[in-house]
Amino acid sequence: MAKDLRAEEGVATARFGDRLAEAVERKRSQLVVGLDPQPDLLPVELRGDSHLGREHVAEACSRFCRGLVDAVAPYVVAVKPQLAFFEALGADGIRAFEEVCAYARAAELLVIADGKRGDVGSTARAYAAAYLERGDAQSPLADALTVNPYLGRDAVEPFLAACRRDGGGVFCVLKTSNAGGREIQDLALSDGRPLWHEVARLVREWGEDLVGEHGLTSVGAVVGATHPRAVGEARRALPQSILLLPGVGAQGATPADLARAFASGPASALVAVSRSLIYAFRVDGADWRTAAGAEAARLQRDVWAVAGW
């Protein structure tokens, strides 16, 4: 028993970049599945008692996400549950989120909580404690968390401190795939560079003391896959950071757009796919688990081939 506890502690405190690199090598995959459970899009078989209230809706969302984990686990290295869909269901949704995280962990998948948290002082410390810190001798709820760096160093530091203590990772939102992101992220600085380039410089600085044995830092960045040029620029600016690349599938990007993201190694980028995979059954009419597994297998092969490793 003591040996098992020491082993669990070792896994929890290893650098996030190292845990990810080992998972990528073992599975030959850089695929992350976003878990965005929208109640009105769930398979009919799961909606049964949803009309009875929020508790039943949350249970249906949990069953959906756990079924997806079963279906995609052989082909992906991580899941990315989107907190908003769980928070919308109140306390029942938060319980469902915790269930899904624990279930994914039991399937030996990494968990990237997609919350884009960002605040200052005690609030940022509370967010870090909620998702990245060990509590009561338990593992952190998530392996990594998406954070908003546009509030500056003091808003990010509590998350960095949690990563140093407990082995987690953060993905700083850098260049997003939505059209409105350019209104702020592309603002020109006095030297002509877009604002997000300066944020990338800061992200690189923040991650310098969190580089693991595989040469990857635990401080990564979110870059929309719909901006292939920006992906290449981010790769050059952040040679040791893991790039989290949403936008493949429903938003129009393809794995072929992303080859340059993997220049720093096979685990230096992750391709996140959500709606086009988890709701694939709505297109082809197959069983929802079968459809998700088939799409995950296809994308795993496509991304690995593009990465060139």
Give catalytic residue positions.
116
Helix runs in the chain, H state only: 2-13, 16-27, 54-72, 83-87, 90-106, 121-131, 153-166, 182-185, 195-206, 228-237, 275-278, 281-284, 288-307
Q: Is 243 helix (H, G, I), strand (E, B) or coil?
A: strand
Q: β-strands 269-273, 144-147: how paired?
A: unpaired
How many other C-beta atoms are found inside a 10 Å radius of the C-beta of residue 285?
8
User: Pick from 10, 5, 168, 147: which is nearest to 78 by CA?
Assistant: 168
Q: Which residues contact 231 (CB under 8 A, 6 or more apart)?
A: 223, 225, 243, 245, 257, 258, 260, 261
CA distance 166 to 10: 10
CA distance 130 to 232: 33
